[in-house]
Amino acid sequence: MDQKEHRIALKFAYDGTQFFGFQRQPGRSTVEGSLVTALEKVGAIRSPRECGYRSSSRTDSGVSALGNVVSFLTAFDTGDICAATNSELENVWAYSAVDVPEAFNPRAARQRWYRYHLPRTGQDLKLMEEIARRFVGVHDFSGHARKDKRNPMRKIASIDISESGMFHAIDFRAESFLWNMVRRIVWMMNEGGSGRMDMASIGPEAQRMPRRVGLSPPEYLVLMDIDCGIEFPVDARAAVQVARLLERRIRESAMKLRLEQGLAMRLSFHPPPGQY
């Protein structure tokens, strides 16, 4: 334990399907609530208010992350905090901690990177790419996000689409996003690419935009990383610790997938026993 308090930036991942969103909510299990409780249990902080706690991105319920960031003042040793915090966490994994200046605020990030894993169902890739191009740049996204008091003007740096197995991996990069903004754009990309929506009605300034733009499911959205202008080297002890936890989860997921694939084959093709 250090005697003098210093500000730490902590990078972590989480399975958002196990939580009611990121932000703390009374009586509900959230990512932030679990993380703060773990930090309090190991003695890293006394309370969010006392430690000058700051968060970067407040993901919605069901949305996961590979690289979210928080910062806080602590007397805890920087090299020990990931492993200690992970010992009190489930479905959240801290893997990097660095010392930062007192003025550091992860909310003022240079860029945020989200990836949406859209199931491939025969969409026209060229149409989806055309829709993506319409949203790149500076636009008023008030019609494509949940309404709030923030300025609806946003600049999307890029939207890239690549094929990844059963999915289209759609990567969004911007300094910041409005609530539900990515999921609404993906919904329009899917509808337009599937021929269910008139291309003339799709775009940030479209004149014939439908009154209600749908939302793509949150479980397919992942906050991939946040560029805060600093390097986050992976903590070696935390890496080993998390790898052991993930090995079991991956094995269990693989077994569940084999069971479901076997059932699907049996229901679809009725193969003889032992043929799959």
Q: Which residues are catalytic?
A: 60
Q: Any idea which residue has 């932000």 for tokens?
A: 23
Specify the amino acid at residue 114: Y
**Bridge-partner residues for 174, per DSSP?**
112, 156
DSSP strand pairing (92-99 vs 111-119): unpaired
- What is the Cα–Cα distance from 207 to 197, expressed in whole angstroms? 14
Q: How far is CA 44 from the centre of its chain?
A: 25
- What is the Cα–Cα distance from 128 to 197, expressed in whole angstroms? 12
Q: How far apart are the first and last CA of the chain?
A: 56
Helix 125-135 / helix 181-193 crossing angle, nearest 10 deg: 140
Determine phi and psi for 61, rounding to 5 degrees: -55, 130
Q: Are 235 and 79 in contact (CB under 8 A)?
A: yes
Residues whose CB is less than 8 angstroms from the CB of residue 159 and which lie 6 or more positions away in sequence, other chains included: 132, 133, 135, 136, 170, 171, 172, 173, 185
Determine phi and psi for 110, rounding to 5 degrees: -70, -40
Specify the amino acid at residue 124: D
SS3 49: coil
